[in-house]
Each structure stands twice: as structure tokens, then as C-alpha cells.
Amino acid sequence: MVSETLTDRKVIHVAVGVVRRADGRILIARRPDHLHMGGRWEFPGGKVEEGETVQQALARELREEVAIEAGGLQPLTEIRHDYPEKTVLLDTWWVLAFTGEARGLEAQEVRWVALDELDSYRFPDANREIIAAIRAATTPGNDP
């Protein structure tokens, strides 16, 4: 019998972007209902494909999902999270410069939210730690 434990499970490498506007607001998008964690809010991003660096994957996903050209990437945090159905590594980056006007190219709603509004949105469980890292990084003195 094949047994699977959480430690030897394959880990899905996901590039995640915390896109920050000049006024400090952050871009969030609502996941389409039919996807994993459908209906919850997320930071845009997606799976790193074979032969891509995480930065290339992030730029591609931001182009495909929210129509922006990303620049100013800086590492924020890496979160490994075991969901009952899969394990993800959320390789999370600040996106501190971009061109274009963000809109949901997959019919998803997008919003620019202030840091203190993040708690009013429902995110996948793994995002709790991302939000904690955002707060830690944006406390005065630690600003990226």
C-alpha cells in the first residue's frame, strides 16, 4: 500500500505577489468559485512552471491575471502550508513598481485595500502568515 505523509508530499511552488501602490494600498483578487479556495480573496499569483524562475512566473501570472507589468520585486516571505488536499510553498514577493491598470482578466473582482482593511477579507488559511509578514515589514523602520 502506498502511504503518504505530510513530510514526503510533493510541494507545489507558487509565486505570490503583494503589489503595493504608492499610497500604500495592496492589490487583492477574489478567487473564481470553481478553483481551490474559490470565493476567498488572495494575492495574485500562481504555480511556477517548469523552466521558469519564480520571478518570471510571478511576472507572467500578474500579466495573465490582473493585466499589470511587474517590476521592483523584493522577497517578502516563504510560507509552506499543508492543506488537507495539497501542500503549497507560497514564495511571496513585494511588487513595488508596475505599469498598467489592475483589472481581473479572469472575471475576478480586484480591490486595492489599505493594510488595516486586510482583516475584513477572507483569505486561504496559509495567508495568515503572509499578512503577518506584511505587517511586520511595514511597521515604521522596517519599510521595504
Nearer to Mg ion by Cβ, of 46 and 138: the residue is 46
Query: Ramachandran region of residue 45, left (φ > 0), alpha (ψ -120 to 50) or beta?
Result: left
Torsion sign (Cα): 133, 20, 17, 43: positive
Nearer to Mg ion by Cβ, of 29 and 76: the residue is 29
Closest distance to Mg ion from the beta carbon of 12 (Å): 11
Q: Among 45, 76, 91, 98, indicate the residue that binds ligand 8GT (CB under 6 A).
A: 45
For 25, other C-beta atoms within 10 Å of its C-beta total 15
Instruction: Return the residues of window 79-138 that contact ligand 8GT according to CB under 6 A.
Output: 88, 90, 124, 126-127
DSSP states of 70-90 as a string? EEEEEEEEEEEEE-SS-EEEE
> Residue 23 carries which DSSP code?
T
Query: Ramachandran region of residue 56, left (φ > 0), alpha (ψ -120 to 50) or beta?
Result: alpha
Specify which residues 70 forms β-bridges with: 98
14 binds, among Mg ion, ligand 8GT, none (CB under 5 to 8 A by kind): ligand 8GT
Closest distance to Mg ion from the beta carbon of 117 (Å): 22
90 binds, among ligand 8GT, Mg ion, none (CB under 5 to 8 A by kind): ligand 8GT
Binding mask 33-52 for Mg ion (x = CB under 5 A): -------------x------
43 binds ligand 8GT (CB under 6 A): yes
Q: From the annotation, which residues make up the binding site?
A: 31, 36, 42-45, 65, 127
